[in-house]
Amino acid sequence: MHDDRQLTEGRLTRFIDDVLPGALYRRRKPLQVQAWHVPGEPVPVSKALAAEYRAVEVPFPWGAPWSTSWFRVRGSVPPEWFEDGRLPAGTRLEVAVDLGFYGDRPGFQAEGLAFLPDGSLVKGIAPRSAYVPWPEGRRDHEFFIEAAANPDVAGEYTFRPTPLGDRETAGAEPLYTVRQIDLGLLDTTVWELAQDIWTLRGLMAELPIEGSRRWQILRALERMIDVVDPDDVAGTAARGREELAGALSSPAAASAHRVVAVGHAHIDTAWLWPLRETIRKCARTFASAVALMDEYPEYRFACSSAQQLFWIKRDYPALFQRIREKVATGQFVPVGGMWVEPDMNMPGGESMARQLVLGKRFFLEEFGVDSQEAWVPDTFGYSAAIPQILREAGMRWFMTQKISWNQTNEMPHTSFLWEGIDGSQVFTHFPSADTYISELSGAELAHAERNFKEKGTAGSSLVPFGWGDGGGGPTREMLAAASRLRSLDGSPTVEIDSPEAFFERAEAEYGEPPVWVGELYLELHRGSLTSQHRTKQGNRRNENLLLEAELWAATAAVRAGASYPYREIEAAWQTVLLHQFHDILPGTSIAWVHQEVEEANADVERTLERIIAAALAALSGPGERELVANARSFPDAGVLPLGVGEPAPAGGELDVRETEAGFVLSNSHIVVGVDQLGHITSLRDTTSGREAIPAGESGNVLMLHRDTPNLWDAWDVDVHYRRAARPIDGIESIAAGREPDAVTLTIRRRFGTSSISQVLRLERGAGSLAIENTIDWKEKHKLLKLVFPIDVHADRFAAETQFGHVFRPTHVNTSWDAARFEVSAHRWIHVAEPGYGVAIANESTYGHDVTRHTVDGRRTVVAVGLSLLRSPEFPDPGADQGEHVIRFAVRPGAGIRDAVREGTALNLPRRRVRGGHPVAPVISVSHPGVSVSSVKLAEDGGGDVVVRVYESEGARAEVTVTADFDAGTPRLVDLLERDSGRETVAFGPGRITLSLGPFQLATVRIPRL
Ligand SMILES: [Zn+2]
């Protein structure tokens, strides 16, 4: 037989493009449209329904960037559309809407939401789902469309600066033209035929040309084209479907890969749109989801963020009620159990815990659902602390697909056990389709099978389907595809089910999964550890203030009978957790988002400071004694941990003097030599007497790097940043200063149009040198690093993460090591060789690099680089411009415990208060290696005291937690403060002894009598 494959495939393309689209609607008729353009920000539906509308003629322009217009649509079905008083068989009525869509990408352009005149929601309107159903049996109908003129900030992803991300600069010209709002008579047979063709064609393209199945499908499609008459598609579509029936009913092979398809809409909680738009995106997407559930009973939709459902409950209560009903039927599936899908590198340990506490509590209280699976498809890497945190929240499974974005190395597993810093494991799955926005195409399903790395041992993968990022979710076309793919020869089988059902199956079919130990590092988006410093600093500051607010408010409740500000503290947590979303904390949102976040963070800061001040005033009473409120887990100036007391005066010498070479700052613990350029040439602790700075090198060197990532501007630092760098060593002034209990050296520098003032500060009795950088930053596409070479021989370094630390290599032996050239650290980095180490603590910095170099070819030293600021131009062209204050502390002669303490001290600076008397701690913890993460009252409002501790040094600790109040017997609980069933060494009234393993986390609930 002659080979006409390409000819026939070309004929099919032409048929699909030219014949089918025009035949979908048998008849069309424009409807009457009136418009009301909202002045300013969006309004509630009640206000929009009552507005004054004016008649408009389609087509008409509308929509300045970020504006909202409402359209009132009215009309009746023409009598001639009826046959014997009914619509023709195989048809249904709907309204086809074109708001001026360009391309077919939902969520990144104009979007609509249809409402009935009573204010109830119908569904979202976007490309690929641009229809509104016409109620069955109705001749006349009226509805409203809330149309959002969201601009396409991303454009073609050129990552060039755009004014669209800020209302101030986005412009006022209409972006869109309404092209069509027509009543249409949909031919359901033609529509079904189109779905048959789409699935078969997609499958065919993936099949081997040498195989029979591909040709069987090709011939069926060819026969279909033969019988469908372009001049009478409606009359011949059914015959066309008959020709395809055989190819569609040929069942899947017994060995076929099994896909569990989960409906989903990844909705970025803020990104290229502001938070307020996300609320509407959720309303559109969820309204569409519940509407489709009525039509497709098998449909399951997984929804991951409590915050998004919280908004729906507040702003769209009727929709929330429908969602509740669909949760009860099992169709709407709350997953993930977190407040948002957060960044998982940068949030502190307590924040990660609260993501789960607030998220799971919302799902439990609103829906009675206790999510078992973490659902973070799009987050930029996952710290090695996550498995334990998930297990402590009662979670069993973990899902992401983001690691498929790795630039260098491919992860060896699809399904595996992921092991964290403490040894906790969670069963983890990377959807092998490598997407969370599948449309169940032949190409995606074939990729899911090809890319599945457990073949022969396991056979199931999860495929999230539905438009995402900007919302949209599954379409009726995707559900039609799923039904055709249940068992289809040549394709993986597709079954719609819940994530839970998938994980149950995947875990059961995989007896001994492989184990991956340590972080899931994303080999991309490393700049997100540094971009938008103010957003990150606000996060860190409020995390620390929350710890203090809860501690002092709980102490005041116990000691002084003060009322505990549950609601204010919860609201503060909600804001902090929201801002940890995976495009906010990473600094990858538009200007509008980061401006709002900075304002909201400042509000939270004020609230927390007020709570702290009120609690401390209630505790220490009136008076003028100078006291210190110590929220740290170790003594501060002699004041007990978690207590308020009179500080002991610091002792010892203190000096700053000018020498020929520069300056020397010293106290009884350390001696710092600084040259005329303001660089640290010598750093010694008096205990070891050892020099921390390698001979001939200098620390405290500011390096300005060219920072021009190939793609993702705010997201990426590409490794080539290292190749173009210069030290900022020009100096404007350098001057020593003296205070009663500190000596300082102030160094002012200018470069370009920016300036930096550095204050090196050595306090009496301190073991570390503090460095405060005040930077007026006006650079573009530059990365500013502060570099410290350290004279230690070290293969690895420690970086703090949630509830512990991780070690990473200083060398680049393997491609995996080399790819980790910019990494996350929380409050400290520690480099050491046996017997000696140096800690560098930070107050608001996450991005670090630690490298090593050889001296004289005989020995190695280590260089720590701290990433202070970047200046990307997309999506926020003004990112990071302006003033920043960034603090560090360097401690020579430091062990891990010192590093933990330096990091804590810098983040919980000494809090001085005036009051009448000291306050004894309500809780004491017996082991110096055990840190207190939280002291608070129980989430349930019952008044129990909850204490969370963790072993912070990677060692073992037998620790006793003691309550200094009338207490019942403490219990070990999970993060949600439910009995954990874990064993304790001993307990009695107000006292519990725990045996903690390395980095083990424990939450203790202490009843108050
Ligand atoms: Zn995302």
What's the confidence (pLDDT) of residue 19?
A: 96
Evaluate the CA torsion angle 736, 739, 744, 746 in order and state its sign.
Answer: negative
CA of 583 to the centre of ligand 1 (A): 7
CA of 468 to the centre of ligand 1 (A): 8
CA of 728 to the centre of ligand 1 (A): 37
Listed in sequence order, the residues at least 6 apart from 480 whose beta carbon sits closer than 8 Å to its beta carbon are 192, 195, 199
DSSP track, 369-432: ----EEE-TT-S-B-TTHHHHHHHTT--EEE--GGGG-SS---S-SEEEEE-TTS-EEEEE--T
pTM assigned to the model? 0.98
What's the confidence (pLDDT) of residue 980?
A: 87
Instruction: Name the strand (E) or helix (H) holding 151.
Output: none
Q: How far apart are CA 497 and CA 676, in angstroms?
A: 68
Q: Tens digit of pLDDT for each residue in 109-163?
A: 999 999 999 999 999 999 999 999 999 999 999 999 999 999 999 998 899 999 9
What's the confidence (pLDDT) of residue 346?
A: 98
Q: Tens digit of pLDDT for each residue in 171-194?
A: 999 999 999 999 999 999 999 999
Q: Tens digit of pLDDT for each residue in 656-712?
A: 999 999 999 999 999 999 999 999 999 999 999 999 999 999 999 999 999 999 999
Listed in sequence order, the residues at least 6 apart from 77 whose beta carbon sits closer than 8 Å to its beta carbon are 93, 134, 138, 139, 140, 183
Q: How many CB atoms lie within 10 A of CB 508?
A: 10
Q: How would you class 160 by CB atoms within 10 Å of its CB: exposed for 0-12, middle for 13-18, buried for 19 or more? A: exposed
CA of 339 to the centre of ligand 1 (A): 14
Q: How many CB atoms lie within 10 A of CB 856?
A: 5
Tokens of 52: 């004054």
Dihedral, CA of residue 512, residue 513, residue 515 and residue 520, to nearest 10 = -160
CA of 582 to the centre of ligand 1 (A): 6
Q: Give yes or no for residue 998 having a pLDDT over 90.
A: yes
Q: How far apart are CA 931 and CA 322, in angstroms?
A: 45
Tokens of 753: 């149009």
Q: How far apart are CA 511 and CA 794, in angstroms?
A: 39
Q: Give yes or no for residue 780 having a pLDDT over 90.
A: yes
Question: Are the CB atoms for 307 and 574 separated by under 8 Å?
Answer: yes
Tell me the average pLDDT across 211-220: 98
Q: How far apart are CA 337 and CA 381, in angstroms?
A: 18
Tokens of 963: 């309550």
445-476 as b/e, with b when 16 or more CB fall inside 10 Å? bbbbbebbbbeeebbbbbbbbbbbbbbbbbbb
Tell me which residue of 720, 718, 710, 470 sits closest to 590, measured CA to CA: 470
Question: Are the CB atoms for 392 and 975 separated by under 8 Å?
Answer: yes
- The pairing of strands 460-465 and 644-645 is unpaired
CA of 950 to the centre of ligand 1 (A): 31
Cα angle 915, 916, 920; round to 5: 90
Active-site positions read: 378
Q: Give yes or no for residue 987 having a pLDDT over 90.
A: no
What's the confidence (pLDDT) of residue 996?
A: 97
Listed in sequence order, the residues at least 6 apart from 582 whose beta carbon sits closer than 8 Å to its beta carbon are 268, 340, 341, 342, 343, 344, 376, 378, 379, 380
Q: How would you class 245 by CB atoms within 10 Å of its CB: exposed for 0-12, middle for 13-18, buried for 19 or more? A: exposed
Amino acid identity of residue 588, one-letter, is T
Tell me which residue of 902, 901, 906 sits closest to 886, measured CA to CA: 906
- The pairing of strands 625-629 and 644-645 is antiparallel
Tokens of 402: 């983001």
| Portion of the chain with pLDDT greater than 90, in percent | 98
Q: How far apart are CA 657 and CA 673, in angstroms?
A: 10
Q: Tens digit of pLDDT for each residue in 834-858?
A: 999 999 999 999 999 999 999 999 9
CA of 913 to the centre of ligand 1 (A): 43
What's the confidence (pLDDT) of residue 986?
A: 84
Q: Tens digit of pLDDT for each residue in 469-519?
A: 999 999 999 999 999 999 999 999 999 999 999 999 999 999 999 999 999
Tell me which residue of 821, 820, 823, 832 sits closest to 794, measured CA to CA: 832
Q: How far apart are CA 651 and CA 370, in angstroms?
A: 54
What's the confidence (pLDDT) of residue 576?
A: 98
Tell me which residue of 604, 749, 750, 587 sits closest to 678, measured CA to CA: 749
Q: How far apart are CA 784 and CA 841, in angstroms?
A: 17
What's the confidence (pLDDT) of residue 35?
A: 98
Q: Give yes or no for residue 985 having a pLDDT over 90.
A: no
CA of 566 to the centre of ligand 1 (A): 31
CA of 470 to the centre of ligand 1 (A): 9
What's the confidence (pLDDT) of residue 983?
A: 79
Listed in sequence order, the residues at least 6 apart from 827 whose beta carbon sits closer than 8 Å to its beta carbon are 800, 841, 842, 843, 903, 904, 906, 907
Q: Tens digit of pLDDT for each residue in 887-940?
A: 999 999 999 999 999 999 999 999 999 999 999 999 999 999 999 999 999 999
**The residue to which tokens 């169709």 are assigned:** 331
| Portion of the chain with pLDDT greater than 70, in percent | 100
CA of 402 to the centre of ligand 1 (A): 10
CA of 416 to the centre of ligand 1 (A): 23
- Rounded (10°) angle between helices 275-295 and 476-484: 50
What's the confidence (pLDDT) of residue 156?
A: 86
CA of 269 to the centre of ligand 1 (A): 8
Q: Give yes or no for residue 26 having a pLDDT over 90.
A: yes
Q: Tens digit of pLDDT for each residue in 388-418?
A: 999 999 999 999 999 999 999 999 999 999 9
What band does 748 get if pLDDT is binned at 50, 70 and 90? Answer: very high
DSSP one-letter code for 529 = G
Q: Look over the chain and give the mean of its residue pLDDT values, rounded to a whole number.
A: 97
Label residue 461 left, alpha or beta by phi (over 0 means left) and psi (-120 to 50 means alpha): beta
Tell me the average pLDDT across 369-383: 97
Q: How far apart are CA 449 and CA 444, in angstroms?
A: 9
What's the confidence (pLDDT) of residue 981?
A: 83
DSSP one-letter code for 342 = B
Tell me the average pLDDT across 48-76: 98
Tell me the average pLDDT across 849-876: 97
Tell me which residue of 399, 463, 411, 461 sits closest to 437, measured CA to CA: 463
Cα angle 405, 411, 415; round to 5: 110
Question: Are the CB atoms for 534 and 520 separated by under 8 Å?
Answer: no
Tell me which residue of 510, 527, 399 sits closest to 458, measured CA to CA: 510
CA of 514 to the centre of ligand 1 (A): 28
What's the confidence (pLDDT) of residue 936?
A: 98
Cα angle 689, 690, 696; round to 5: 130
